[in-house]
């Protein structure tokens, strides 16, 4: 049974000491993650299959909208969109679920001691399990169903070896952002509504329904500004991760409609990965530091 460490109150917080304290309760984190996943599908007929149904239906709707109605898609559009929805769904669902994580456990936090960050990280990890299930569905869809219908699409390019690094960047940025939102929402419950609205709008600022290269090929920008705008856009880790998934899983891909001049996706850029990786580590650290500074006041909330 881990002992309780009582630290004197003060404005300065040792984030590394707080993390070591959290790590001693990792067994509790594992229990909460397993319990959350079981409760989520406890009384549903399809159970965990709902994790597969949601991304598939979303991709079908987007594909019909783009190819059949707007007539702007290219071949294999559904799989191309599917790849970009994977990180976006993880980010948006994890942030929304984590926004109310502390409030949902506030009664328990006032009675029993355990590290306050556990409910937040638990929600992020539950959604990460959902992400892994969706990844499995994508692999079956891309290299199983597509092969039956259209023929073997070929193996992903060698850049797929960066996939674990890209996923780590995605999780770090999401966790840091979740720390910010969950701490603020304890004192200002409007935060979760604002975040929900921003995520709805933010979906259209992330390259899910369109490739990021559309910015580089934009006729509204001068040639000198196209490349600058494209790279500035990818400095947002959420946007870059969605783009990186396409680059790693498809390689250089013709995203233009059939019969139109080719517009190829840009190759995977390790330099941008390093920049967004640094931003994600910084976001995780700052978010955790902010959370640690605020968490001592959580139990004072009426």
Spatial separation of the C-alpha atoms in residues 235 and 246, rounded to whole Å: 16
The pLDDT of residue 138 is: 87
Joined together, the tokens standing for residue 209 give 């329904």
Whole-prediction pTM value? 0.87
pLDDT in tens, the chain (302 residues): 555 554 544 457 788 888 899 999 999 999 999 888 888 777 665 666 666 777 777 777 776 766 665 455 555 677 888 888 999 999 999 999 999 888 888 888 888 888 889 999 999 999 999 899 889 888 888 888 777 767 777 788 888 999 999 999 999 999 999 999 999 998 888 888 999 999 999 988 898 888 888 887 777 888 888 888 888 999 999 999 999 998 898 876 655 555 555 566 777 889 999 999 999 999 999 999 999 998 888 877 66
The pLDDT of residue 281 is: 97
The pLDDT of residue 47 is: 61
The pLDDT of residue 72 is: 54
The pLDDT of residue 170 is: 97
Spatial separation of the C-alpha atoms in residues 299 and 113, rounded to whole Å: 11
The pLDDT of residue 214 is: 81
The pLDDT of residue 9 is: 47
Please choose, from the candidates 198, 171, 167, the residue with its C-alpha nearest in 3D space to the C-alpha of residue 184.
Answer: 198
The pLDDT of residue 11 is: 54
């Amino acid at each position: 049974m881990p002992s309780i460490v009582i630290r004197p109150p003060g404005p300065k917080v040792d984030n590394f000491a707080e993390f070591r304290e959290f790590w001693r309760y990792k067994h509790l984190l594992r229990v909460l993650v397993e319990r959350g996943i079981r409760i989520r599908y406890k009384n549903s007929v399809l159970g965990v299959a709902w994790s597969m149904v949601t991304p598939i239906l979303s991709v079908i709707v987007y594909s019909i909208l783009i190819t059949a109605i707007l007539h702007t898609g290219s071949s294999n559009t559904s799989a191309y969109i599917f790849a970009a929805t994977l990180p976006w769904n993880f980010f948006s669902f994890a942030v929304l679920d984590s926004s109310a994580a502390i409030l949902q456990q506030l009664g328990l936090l006032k009675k029993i001691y355990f590290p306050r960050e556990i409910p937040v990280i638990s929600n992020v990890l539950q959604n990460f399990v959902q992400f892994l299930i969706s990844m499995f569905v994508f692999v079956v869809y891309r290299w199983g169903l597509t092969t039956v219908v259209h023929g073997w699409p070929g193996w992903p390019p060698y850049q797929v070896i960066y996939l674990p690094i890209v996923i780590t960047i995605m999780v770090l940025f999401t966790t840091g952002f979740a720390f910010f939102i969950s701490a603020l929402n304890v004192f200002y419950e409007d935060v979760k509504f604002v975040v929900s609205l921003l995520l709805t709008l933010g979906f259209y600022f992330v390259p899910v329904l369109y490739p990021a290269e559309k910015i580089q090929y934009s006729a509204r920008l001068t040639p000198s500004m196209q490349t600058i705008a494209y790279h500035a856009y990818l400095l947002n880790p959420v946007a870059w991760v969605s783009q990186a998934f396409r680059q790693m899983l498809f390689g250089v891909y013709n995203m233009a409609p059939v019969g139109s001049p080719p517009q190829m996706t840009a190759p995977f850029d390790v330099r941008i990965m390093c920049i967004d990786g640094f931003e994600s580590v910084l976001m995780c650290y700052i978010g955790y530091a902010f959370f640690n500074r605020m968490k001592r006041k959580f139990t004072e909330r009426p």
